[in-house]
């Protein structure tokens, strides 16, 4: 009992002068980082009239949740939230599946033209909807996928970067593990699902988390491919529809916080995995 | 990057398994040939459909005068490219993207490094610093942009109020881009910060202990151990930031109310391309600009690879 308590206490080092100074700097810098979010939160708790008052002030004089209420009552916010969820979950599952398979295929199997294909995929690192927006849009339009879930989801599902990260990871898996299984008569697929995928869990988690963040927060592509307000995602709906009413700051801030909240909660719970994931994906080790 | 990969496989392959090598090689080849293609097929299908095909289509469209409906396009040769290269609005837009990149990349790199050093060296509440510095990155770009649009608005914005200024951040040509840069620093530095933090945690402690024994002070330890050990991550942060910054769009558009900014001072290359495609319906012309942009990005990426390779070879 006592040893456990001691073990827990021992990493707590005493306050040295340099630690005090560093911590004070940390507090000051953190305050700057959190201030805009705090300001948004306080504004969302003001009335619209108070939010537009001149001169402005940080804290609400009258605390009210009317902006949050109005958001729920008048806005399409539930639709946008569900759309965001559907799109992000679909994109993340598809990306995890196809990039794990492809990363493994490139790292550990042989087939004709592999190196050429790998080269082409790596050149895909430079191509994003921002770079090729208009031709990508006309392609998706030709497929009849404008204003559909398909059109929002599928073009986000071919990220060369994720294939590259998993490719690097699979290259580091000891071949002996697989070969023992092959000699025992297991096939490629069995080896992949029972040996390789479990080993890759931390890397897959990192790829999944970053894909989800990117997809949830993606603005440009949904902006290009949807016109129907019922189909918009959170960032998209808040930026385009809410702004077009004539800006109501309290509501806008409430909506923005609502769009950001899911990821903030995810981060608070999965912090350690996310930081470890960054180290694990080899991103940091290059 | 590829060189190190070859080295690891080679090193593992050489001595250990000479006996079973022949047997496993046939097993591997057989299994590989049967299934290798199927592993990459699903990804390749999506990749061809949504990356390669649009790229080829963009090349084709760039030689036509296609409009948004795609009907009745006729071949116009190099006209679009000729027009684009002579289009001062395009050069201005490219200039804005480049200017933004020049401001953001050095600031983010230095700031991310300093924040990571701070979070790494404070012994208490590590999770709290990580959360504070990373949290802005978790907000959608449009939300972060809306927040700063409001903070910077003259009259009702808290930035001027808090610092006792009366700066026309969003409505004056000389401040608009600066406001976007400040917003971007706040919003995106967290990602590079995490990369640096992970890299700092990966530096073995014994290096510092040995240096301390040799009498190196904190400054020496930073210059001779920390910075060299972080060289690769710095290269990565800079490369990722350059590519991301050149693609400036979301923040600029939202903060400037979907317009081009005061006196067209914040219109980015991506924004101008999309305007030509979706507002002026000039798909052929927009495609030509997309291809020009793709070439610029490719040149930057290749230059980075080339620099990295020569530096690694020189270093050994």
Q: Which residue of B20, B129, B236 is in closest CB contact with A26?
A: B129
Within 72-91 of A, beta carbons closer than 8 Å to B belong to none
Burial (CB count within 10 angstroms: exposed 0-12, middle 13-18, buried 19+), residue B190 = buried
- Using a CB–CB cutoff of 8 Å, tell me whether A13 touches chain B: yes
Kindly state the DSSP code that residue A229 receives in the 8-state scheme. Answer: G
pLDDT range class, residue A168, cuts 50, 70, 90:
confident
Task: Report which secondary-structure segment, H or E, holds B111.
Answer: helix B88-121
Look at B156 and A52 and tell me if their CB atoms are within 8 Å. yes
Long-range contacts of B238-244 (CB under 8 A, 24+ apart): B238/B105, B238/B109, B239/B301, B239/B304, B240/B192, B241/B101, B241/B104, B241/B105, B241/B108, B241/B109, B241/B192, B242/B101, B242/B105, B242/B300, B242/B304, B243/A126, B243/B297, B243/B300, B243/B301, B244/B188
Token couple for B210: 């040995």
Condensed to tens digits (0 to 9), the pLDDT of residues B139-188 reads 999 999 999 999 999 888 899 988 989 899 999 999 999 999 999 999 99
Range A262-269 average pLDDT: 85
Tens-place pLDDT, residues B67-106: 876 666 789 989 999 999 999 999 999 999 999 999 999 9
Please give the pLDDT value at position A215.
93
Q: Does the CB of A126 have a partner CB in chain B at under 8 Å?
A: yes
- The residue with greater pLDDT, A110 or A83, is A83
The partner residue sitting opposite B195, judged by closest CB among A128, A183, A278, is A278
Q: What does the pLDDT look like over A3-62, one tens digit per residue?
A: 444 444 455 667 888 899 999 999 999 999 999 999 999 999 999 889 888 888 899 999
For residue B30, the SS3 value is helix
Distances (CA, A) of B179 to A246, A247, A274, B132, B139: 22, 19, 30, 21, 18
Backbone phi and psi for residue A262, each to the nearest 5 degrees, phi listed first: -55, -45
What are the tens digits of pLDDT across the range A189-247? 888 998 899 988 888 888 898 899 899 999 999 999 998 888 999 998 888 877 666 77
Rounded to whole angstroms, the Cα distance separating B39 from A192 reads 10
pLDDT-based confidence at A63, cuts 50/70/90? very high
Residues of chain B neighbouring A265 (CB-CB closer than 8 A): none
Any idea which residue has 């569900």 for tokens?
A82
ipTM score of the complex? 0.87
Specify the pLDDT at position B312. 58
Among A90-94, A103-107, A193-197, top mean pLDDT goes to A90-94
Q: Which residues of B touch A183 (CB under 8 A)?
A: 23-24, 27
Candidate from A19, A33, A141 with C-beta closest to B136: A33
> Is the Cβ of A134 closer than 8 Å to some Cβ of chain B?
yes
How far, in Å, CA of B267 to CA of B91, rounded? 11
* CA–centroid distance for B223 within its chain: 27
Q: Is B64 helix (H, G, I), strand (E, B) or coil?
A: strand
Contact B294 A132 (CB under 8 A): yes
Would the CB atoms of A134 and B9 count as touching at under 8 Å?
Answer: no
Two structure tokens written together for B122: 């404070």
Burial of B263 (0-12, 13-18, 19+ CB in 10 A): exposed
d(CA A93, CA A48): 40
Q: Which residues of chain B make contact with A187, given a CB cutoff of 8 A?
A: 31, 35
Mean local confidence (pLDDT), B214-222: 88
A27 touches chain B (CB under 8 A): no
Q: Which residues contact A176 (CB under 8 A, 6 or more apart)?
A: B17
Asked if A134 lies within 8 A of B46 by C-beta distance, the reply is: no
Phi (first) and psi of residue B255, to 5 degrees: -65, -25
Is the pLDDT reported for residue B17 higher than 60? no
Q: By the CB < 8 Å criterion, does A116 face chain B?
A: no
Contacts of residue A108 in chain B, CB cutoff 8 Å?
32
Report the chain A residue with the minimal C-alpha distance to residue B150.
Answer: A249
* Candidate from B8, B151, B202 with C-beta closest to A172: B8
Q: Which residues contact B182 (CB under 8 A, 6 or more apart)?
A: B148
Whether residue A126 has a cis bond before it, omega within 30° of 0? no
The pTM of this model reads: 0.87
Confidence at residue A76, expressed as pLDDT on a 0 to 100 scale: 84
Residues of B in contact with A224 (CB under 8 A): 274, 278
């Amino acid at each position: 009992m006592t040893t456990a308590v001691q073990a827990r206490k021992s990493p707590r080092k005493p306050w040295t002068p340099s630690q005090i100074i560093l911590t004070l700097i940390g507090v000051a810098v953190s305050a700057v980082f959190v201030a805009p979010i705090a300001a948004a939160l306080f504004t969302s708790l003001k009335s619209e009239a108070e939010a537009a008052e001149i001169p402005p002030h940080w804290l609400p004089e009258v605390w009210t949740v009317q902006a949050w209420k109005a958001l729920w009552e008048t806005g399409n916010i539930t639709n946008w939230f569900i759309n965001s969820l559907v799109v992000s979950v679909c994109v993340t599952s598809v990306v995890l599946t196809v990039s794990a398979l492809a990363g493994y295929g490139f790292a550990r199997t042989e087939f004709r033209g592999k190196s050429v294909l790998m080269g082409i995929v790596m050149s895909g690192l430079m191509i994003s909807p921002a770079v090729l927006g208009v031709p990508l849009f006309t392609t998706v339009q030709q497929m009849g996928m404008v204003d559909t879930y398909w059109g929002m989801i599928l073009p986000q599902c071919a990220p060369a970067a994720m294939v590259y990260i998993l490719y690097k990871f699979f290259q580091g898996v000891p071949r002996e593990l697989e070969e023992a299984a092959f000699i025992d008569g297991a096939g490629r697929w069995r080896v992949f699902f029972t040996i390789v995928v479990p080993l890759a869990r931390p890397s897959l988690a990192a790829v999944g988390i970053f894909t989800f963040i990117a997809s949830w927060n993606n603005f440009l592509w949904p902006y290009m491919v949807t016109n129907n307000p019922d189909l918009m995602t959170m960032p998209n709906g808040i930026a385009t529809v809410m702004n077009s009413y004539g800006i109501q700051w309290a509501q806008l801030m409430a909506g923005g916080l609502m769009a950001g909240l899911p990821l903030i909660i995810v981060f608070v719970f999965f912090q350690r995995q996310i930081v470890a994931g960054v180290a694990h994906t080899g991103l940091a080790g290059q | 990057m590829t060189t190190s990969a070859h080295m690891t496989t080679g090193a593992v392959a050489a001595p250990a398994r000479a006996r079973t090598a022949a047997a496993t090689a046939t097993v591997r080849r057989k299994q590989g040939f049967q299934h290798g293609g199927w592993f990459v097929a699903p990804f390749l299908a999506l990749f061809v459909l949504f990356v390669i095909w649009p790229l080829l289509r963009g090349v084709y469209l760039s030689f036509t005068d296609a409009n948004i409906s795609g009907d009745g396009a006729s071949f116009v040769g190099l006209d679009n490219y000729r027009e684009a290269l002579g289009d001062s609005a395009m050069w201005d837009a490219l200039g804005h993207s480049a200017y933004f990149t020049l401001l953001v990349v050095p600031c983010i790199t230095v700031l991310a490094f300093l924040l990571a050093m701070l979070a790494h060296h404070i012994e208490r509440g590590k999770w709290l610093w990580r959360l504070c510095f990373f949290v802005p990155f978790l907000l959608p770009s449009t939300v972060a942009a809306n927040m700063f649009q409001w903070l910077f608005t003259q009259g009702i914005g808290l930035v001027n109020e808090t610092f006792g200024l009366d700066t026309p951040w969003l409505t004056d040509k000389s401040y608009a881009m600066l406001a976007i840069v400040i917003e971007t620093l706040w919003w995106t530095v967290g990602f590079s910060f995490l990369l640096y933090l992970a890299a700092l945690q990966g530096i073995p402690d014994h290096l510092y202990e040995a240096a301390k024994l040799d009498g190196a002070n904190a400054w020496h330890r930073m210059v001779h151990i920390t910075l060299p050990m972080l060289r690769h991550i710095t290269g990565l942060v800079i490369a990722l930031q350059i590519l991301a910054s050149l693609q400036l769009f979301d923040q600029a558009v939202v903060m400037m109310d979907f317009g081009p900014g005061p006196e067209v001072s914040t219109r980015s290359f991506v924004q101008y391309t999309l305007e030509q495609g979706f507002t002026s319906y000039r798909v052929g012309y927009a495609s030509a600009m997309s291809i020009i942009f793709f070439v610029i990005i490719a040149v930057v990426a290749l230059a980075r690879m080339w620099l990295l390779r020569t530096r690694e070879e020189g270093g050994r």
